[in-house]
Structure 1
Amino acid sequence: MIAPAYYQAPIDQFLNQSVDEILGQLTAAHGFALELTQRDAWKVQVELLQDQLRELDHGEIFFEFAIPRMGKRADVVLLLDGTVFVVEFKVGASSFDRSAIDQVHDYALDLKNFHKGSHGLPIVPILIATRAPRMAPEEVNWAKDHVAAPILSSGKELIPLLHGLVPRPVAAVDAETWIRSGYLPTPTIIEAAQALYQNHSVEEIARSDAGAQNLTMTTECIRQIVADARANRKKAICFVTGVPGSGKTLAGLNIATESSHEDEEGRAVFLSGNGPLVIVLREALARDQVARLKVKKGDALREVSSFVQNIHHFRDEALRLEAPPPEHIVIFDEAQRAWTRDQASKFMQQKRGQANFDMSEPQFLVSVMDRHADWAVIICLVGGGQEINTGEAGLAEWMGALQAHYPDWEVHVSERLHDPDYGLSEHREGLLGSKRVTWEAGLHLGVSMRSFRAEKLSEFVGHILDNRPEEARRVYAEIKDRYPIALTRDIDAAREWLRQHARGTERPGLIASSGAYRLRPDGINVRASIDPANWFLNGPDDVRSAYYLEEVATEFDVQGLELDWAGICWDADLRYEDGAWRQHAFKGTRWQSVNSPERRLYLKNAYRVILTRARQGMILYIPQGVVEDKTRHPHFYDGIAAYLMRCGLG
């Protein structure tokens, strides 16, 4: 596990230790080859703080304080008079750049959100540029959660700064109780992939509270299935279910990264048919490798491409070669989106010239792994109610293929596969009566970790889309204090709300369904595709990034990924009329009713996806409409807004 800090001591003890003694402790805790510049930086920090804090006789000081979710360490944390001061140094700097300000702000927000002992304490981030001009202590700007806006300092006026920020004595906090209170991080999937790829364990970067223990349970359950298959030379498939944001992809990535340390036979590959997710994960991992290891971008991309692959490229390679794939373990992300026989056959005949291809994607993928003569494991990660495109098979196609063609494969299933969202009602009796099916409680992830402020968000969204406004109102009353959801009829107000709520490097963004064609007059054009890597990874100075709130992502861009704050732009493709949801598609110059049950389900699921992308909160924008425009008439939108207000919003 990550050590909480390289150095910890009461401030009076710190003041009475020699600089060399403190440097020795920091160096020993570092544990790796230490660059001279790092030791010199520590020396400057210690000497400056011993000078500035010399009048203090209480409080606790921490050097290199761990921020596990971000895989980093804050330079210094001071626990003083019931206030947490997070201090970041830029030794030798004479100015304060934006990235450094955001960095210390992020550390403070991370402590507030994920460190249990800091939840109720005021937190003040301070950025020190050691060669900046001396500055007079400035007024503190507090946010509602009692995290201050970053204070900029030269370090030469630290004592008056600290005393000025704590205007009256506050009850002291016991340092040992505070540091051991528990750190419950919920990383984004991008942060998690980077940390896992750097050999951190899932236990280090993920929450460990009782409500989210099942991520560890699920990971261990999968490990046991893999170990048993390998030891006894047999083939097994398991289906991992979970609510949106519960960590299915994280569990899969964890198994894939763990296997990278195994021998060649025990290695796994993470496969996804979600093109944007693959693009973003590969780019994020490659950028991280370049920044940390100073390798060439092309080399980094080649390395990570063997770890995260597009499922369609895997399929095409298997068509080209008859040999089994090099991996004995494959993880299929969003397995419910694999194609039906009709969709797969149509695509293979038209796009790949495979005139005789007559299998569903699940059947073909199992057949590829069945080529192994000894053992193989398929891990299917399944999101219920998230099929969003024509030809996506759900789980029925997987079960049908296993029952009809692969009787020797053991099947491990989550106990929640009975739920209607998974579409297995016709296979229920066969599953229950089969001796080769093992029901595993550990294969379901029931707690959302994406929305760390509101674990019941997916339940709230489900009530909204299933036309249960009273239940939605009840659930929202439980989460609204921790997970703000606003409602507006003004797109400019929505953008301003997002800008006001996003702090540090928290990422806001606009999302709409792919059928929201009549939002274009508001500058929201879903037909203009985003570049997923730029939108999700680039900073606030890049017009292509989500930060600019100009380009809008659709359900196809964001499924499996997440934002901190989301602006959900709701069009008339899903409208509330006569006490029920009605689905429409814009064709030519007018809206047309969607009559196909399958297409109605896809549209409902599109909104389920976009409404569960935000980790910290969201604002729903419903247009006012224009009486003169028959494609944007107010009555299309007024019913949606009125219904959402019945659900507790507004």
Structure 2
Amino acid sequence: MATKRTNRCLYNSDFKSFIEADPYYVLGCIHDAFHGQALTTTDEAWFGEIQLLQNVLLPWENEEAEIIFEYNIPRLGKRIDVVLLLRGIIFCLEFKVGQKDALQSDVEQVMDYALDLKNFHRFSHDRIIVPILIPTKHKTSSSLFVPSVYDDSIYNPLLTGEDGLQHIIDSVLRHENATLHGSIKNWIIGPYTPTPTIIEAARSLYENHSVEDITRHEADKVTTDATIAFILDVISHSKKNSKKSICFITGVPGAGKTLVGLDVAVKQSYQENGSFNEDDGAVYLSGNGPLVAVLTEALARDNHKKAKAKGEKKKLSDSQREVKKFIQIIHQYRDNMLAKIKNPVVDGKLEIDPEKAIKLQQSGYGEVEHVAIFDEAQRAWTHQRIANYLKRGGTYGNKLKVPNFPMSEAAFLIWSLDQREDWATIVCLIGGGQEINTGEAGISEWIAALNNLFPHWDVYISDKLTEPEYAEGKVNELLANNPNVEFSDKLHLGVSLRSFRAERLSGFVHSLLSFTQDAASLYQEVVSHGYPVVLTRDMDKARQWLRMQARGTQQTGILVSKVSARFKPLAVHVLPQSEDNAVHWFLEDKTDVRSSNYLEEAATEIQVQGLEVDFACVLWDADMRFDNGKWTFWRFNGKTQWIPEKNPETQKYMLNAYRVLLTRARQGMVICVPKGNGNITPEGFPEDSTRLPFLYDCTYSYFKSIGMKEI
């Protein structure tokens, strides 16, 4: 078997071809498949692993066995350093090059890989899996071979240095009496399918800590219950009649769209008798990395705490794994489907490559779930953005190059579900006016795909999608010639669950940003219903106000736009773009300096979209300024001045960023428009020309003009 090209790894080969290859050739193959710039240390590590394994695997050179470098576990976004498929056994190797000692975190890492394969990779469910940690300078090797406490054919992690690796592999083969030669056919393209064990654990976890607790809503569930019931009826009708259907759900910020999506995912997967229906499963998908990370961690931490209180021996990573059964990143779902297509694309038509995919009895070449719930569907990419992304080699890690990709992301996601040969339902959760990144298409791209490529799909759509925030108010026009459309008021979540006192907040924010005449009256209405919105020009006063408002475990936080640039003089640090940072910012308590409550680090619209705090400070920079009845938009050049932003599409995203920031607080907010710096140097020049008072004064005056109370 020669080296095969696949998007699931950076390199794979039979043992003989690998052992006989020039190490630099193998390294070149890895480089060719890698997207991103490999560091010198990474290069050295890969080269060292290649040379070591070419010697280690010599005793099995002539066997039917397979080696795989940097294997991507389907849909989980994790990569295993090296997988060996030898005599029907799966060896997971995690190298720590140059390291002498084994850290607990390293042992847990390689064990997690083994568990993820066992729980989510179809061709690993019934196999023996052996995780091996290799700190290359370690001097001893494991001598005991015992199954893990999970009783699932997984070994407890084995430990060895580079000198003992060959012996430990041989010892495992002897221990298992593994004498029959053979790899595992099609293992490398084995599909994502959760085991019943992980599915039942996920249900238990969800039931023990409802996402309702995370959203902390204070209103009744009448609206969400009606929406969930409508969607489940559509799913049932689609199944009964072998139809493909799509539902578009709208809602004001905080109305419970995420809650609805997760409830549908769980209720669809677990029928009335409480048992899992393997053929009717659903998955909740979001392109919002911070949202997925925070939801996953919040559920997992709570489950782990409750298990510990009961005396159960359960790791936090086990709880996290259970959550990932039904909460996943949309890009990993998308890329798992992209790995199955014929490439290059011929005549603009996507087709499955049967050599890259396994056809399953129920789902065919589609994914395993019948129902996919896409949160923040308005953020799906335009055709131009995803085509450019895939042309240069998409996903970080594995170079997924598709030079002539023919679809928008929305169209591809519909196409992915359309690969099922029986029935499917898509649920799109949509926030109005919340496209915040260049290349986010909004709802119009979904509708165009349905009209042009998937006319056989039934369309169920919120009656509020005709409003200006959605597709510029052209939804009716776009759907005029589609005969399969049904509008329903049950697909709109109009009551804010985030704060029952702020049902009109969304309307006020829309009015504030679009300069409608009712902004002042809407402001008074919001405030009179117990939702304070106050104004200041002093960050110390803003912090003091937040601390005075928050009681008990109520959460505060500072919010800024990602384009903001001049907040260092105010002792505000912008939170670095990392999912781990978002998790700490949202979930740590008031004793942890990483917590939002310390009011030192400010989160951007990217990190808070779909999430919320109790009381927020929206810190307004000079990137968006009021000027004679309109907004003007600016970008800082990183050195000396603000540059006008004239691209209309970018201006829309910048406006939407503030729309998101102004709707993140459950119970109240302070808007801080800084005074700037009007000081003059002895030579007669501005002390800080990037923060001159006039950059902020007009915006402050506009907010005062609609009656905002100043503190």
TM range (shorter): 0.5 to 0.7
CA distance in structure 1 between the aligned counterparts of 2:329 and 2:599, rounded to whole angstroms: 28
In the alignment, structure 1 segments of 5+ residues that lack a partner are 1-192
Instruction: Confirm or deny: 8 A CA contact 1:194 1:284 kept in the other structure.
Output: no
Q: Residues 375 and 206 of structure 1: is their aligned pair in 2 closer, same or farther, counting only changes over 3 Å?
A: farther
Which residue pairs with 1:490 in the alignment? 538
What corresponds to 1:259 in structure 2?
268
Q: What SS does structure 1 have at the residue aligned with 2:567?
A: helix
Find the counterpart in structure 1 of residue 665 from structure 2: 614
Question: Which AA in structure 2 matches 1:252?
Answer: G
Is structure 2 residue 300 aligned with structure 1 residue 281? no
Native 8 Å contact 2:614 2:666 kept in 1: yes
Work out whether 1:332 is the aligned partner of 2:332.
no
Q: Distance in 2 between matches of 1:200 and 1:449?
A: 14
Per-residue deviation, residues 239-280 of structure 1 (Å, max 9, x unmatched): 001111111111111101213324011111000000100110
Q: 1:218 aligns with which of 208, 223, 227?
A: 227
**1:544 and 2:568 aligned:** no
Q: Does structure 1 residue 600 correspond to structure 2 residue 651?
A: yes
**Range with greater deviation from structure 2 (425-434 or 585-594):** 425-434
- Contact 1:451–1:457, Cα closer than 8 Å, also in 2: no
Correspondence 1:452 to 2:500: yes
Root mean square deviation, CA, Å: 2.1
Letter in 1 for 2:278: E
CA drift of 1:297 comes to: 1.4
The answer to whether the aligner puts 1:474 opposite 2:521 as a matched pair is yes
Counterpart AA for 2:289: G
% identical aligned pairs:
45
TM superposition shift of 1:207: 5.8
Residue matched to 2:255: 246
Instruction: Find the counterpart in structure 1 of residue 625 from structure 2.
Output: 575
In the TM superposition, 1:234-633 aligns within 5 A as 234-261=243-270, 262-294=276-308, 295-321=314-340, 322=357, 323-350=365-392, 351=394, 352-423=400-471, 425=473, 428-468=476-516, 470-481=517-528, 482-526=530-574, 528-529=576-577, 531-588=581-638, 589-627=640-678, 628=686, 629-633=688-692
Please give the alpha-carbon distance, in whole angstroms, between the structure 2 residues aligned to 1:334 and 1:580: 28
Quote the offset at 1:376 in angstroms.
Answer: 0.3
**CA deviation profile, 1:269-300 (whole Å, cap 9, x unmatched):** 00000010011011111111211123211211
SS at match of 1:435: coil
Q: CA deviation at 1:202?
A: 7.0
Would the alpha carbon gap of residues 505 and 604 (structure 1) be closer, same or farther in structure 2, given more than 3 Å must change? same
Residues 553-579 of structure 1: CA deviation (Å, up to 9, x unaligned): 000000000000001100011111122
Q: Is the 8 A contact 2:247 2:459 kept in 1?
A: yes
Q: Deviations over 1:573-618 (max 9, x none)?
A: 1111122211111123211111111111111100000000000111
CA contact (8 A) 2:451 2:479 kept: no
- 1:123-170 superposed Cα distances (whole Å, 9 cap, x missing partner): xxxxxxxxxxxxxxxxxxxxxxxxxxxxxxxxxxxxxxxxxxxxxxxx
Distance (Å, rounded) in 1 between the aligned partners of 2:563 and 2:244: 42
Equivalent position SS for 1:386: coil
Q: Distance in 2 between matches of 1:290 and 1:196?
A: 12
Residues 197, 257 of structure 1: 8 Å contact kept: no
Shift of 1:550: 0.7
Instruction: Count how many residue pairs are aligned between Structure 1 and Structure 2.
Output: 455
Q: Is it true that 1:638 corresponds to 2:697 in the alignment? A: yes
Indicate conservation of the 8 Å contact 1:488/1:621, yes or no. Answer: yes
**Helix, strand or coil at the partner of 2:460:** strand
Structure 1 stretch displaced more, 578-587 or 279-288: 578-587
Residues 282 and 370, structure 2, Cα contact 8 Å, conserved in 1: yes
Note the alpha carbon deviations across 1:479-536, whole angstroms, 9 max, x for none. 2140111211111111111111111000000000111101221122337346011110
Q: Give the deviation of 1:213 after TM superposition.
A: 2.9
Q: Is the 8 A contact 2:218 2:499 kept in 1?
A: no
Is the Cα–Cα contact under 8 Å of residues 395 and 424 in structure 1 kept in the other structure?
A: no
Q: 1:467–1:581: 8 Å Cα contact kept in structure 2?
A: no
* 1:433 positional shift: 3.8
Q: d(CA) in 2 for partners of 1:253 and 1:647?
A: 39
User: Please, what TM-score do these two structures have when normalized by structure 1?
Assistant: 0.67
Retained in 2: the 8 A contact 1:238–1:412? yes
Q: State the alpha-carbon separation in 2 of the partners of residues 296 and 491 from structure 1.
A: 41
How far apart in 1 are the matches of 2:571 and 2:376? 32
Tell me how far apart the structure 1 counterparts of residues 556 and 216 of structure 2 sit (CA, whole Å). Answer: 23
Query: How far off is 1:424 after superposition?
Result: 5.7
SS in 2 for 1:595: coil
Q: Would the aligned equivalents of 1:233 and 1:374 in 2 still touch at CA under 8 Å?
A: yes
The answer for the alignment partner of 1:198 in structure 2 is: 208
Counterpart of 1:617, as a letter, is: G
In structure 2, what is the Cα distance between the partners aligned to 1:643 and 1:448?
27
Residue pairs, 1:158-173, within 5 angstroms: none
TM-score, normalised to structure 2, is 0.62
Q: Which amino acid aligns with 2:332?
A: H
Shift of 1:215: 1.8
- The answer to which of 233-242 and 345-354 deviates more is 345-354
Give the secondary-structure state (helix, strand or coil) at the position aligned to 1:222: helix
* C-alpha distance in structure 2 between counterparts of 1:343 and 1:256, whole Å: 29
Secondary structure of the 1:434 match is coil
Q: Using the TM superposition, give the Cα deviation of residue 648 of structure 1 relative to its aligned residue in structure 2, in angstroms.
A: 1.6
Q: In structure 2, what is the equivalent of residue 7 of structure 1?
A: none
User: Where do 5+ consecutive residues of structure 2 fail to align?
Assistant: 1-202, 271-275, 309-313, 341-356, 358-364, 395-399, 679-685
**Distance change >3 Å, CA 602–CA 561, structure 1 → 2:** same
Mapped to 1, the partners of 2:657 and 2:643 lie a distance apart of 18
2:707 counterpart of 1:648: yes
Asked if the contact 1:583/1:593 (under 8 Å) is kept, the reply is: yes
Tell me, in whole angstroms, the C-alpha distance in 2 between the residues paired with 1:634 and 1:376: 56
Change (3 A) 1:245 1:208: closer
Per-residue deviation at 1:473? 1.4
Worse overlay, 580-589 or 391-400:
580-589
Amino acid paired to 2:444: A
CA distance in 1 between counterparts of 2:642 and 2:212 reads 47
Residue 376 of structure 2 contacts residue 431 of structure 2 at CA under 8 Å; is this kept in 1? yes
Letter in 2 for 1:368: S
Give yes or no for contact 1:472–1:648 (8 Å, CA) kept in 2.
no
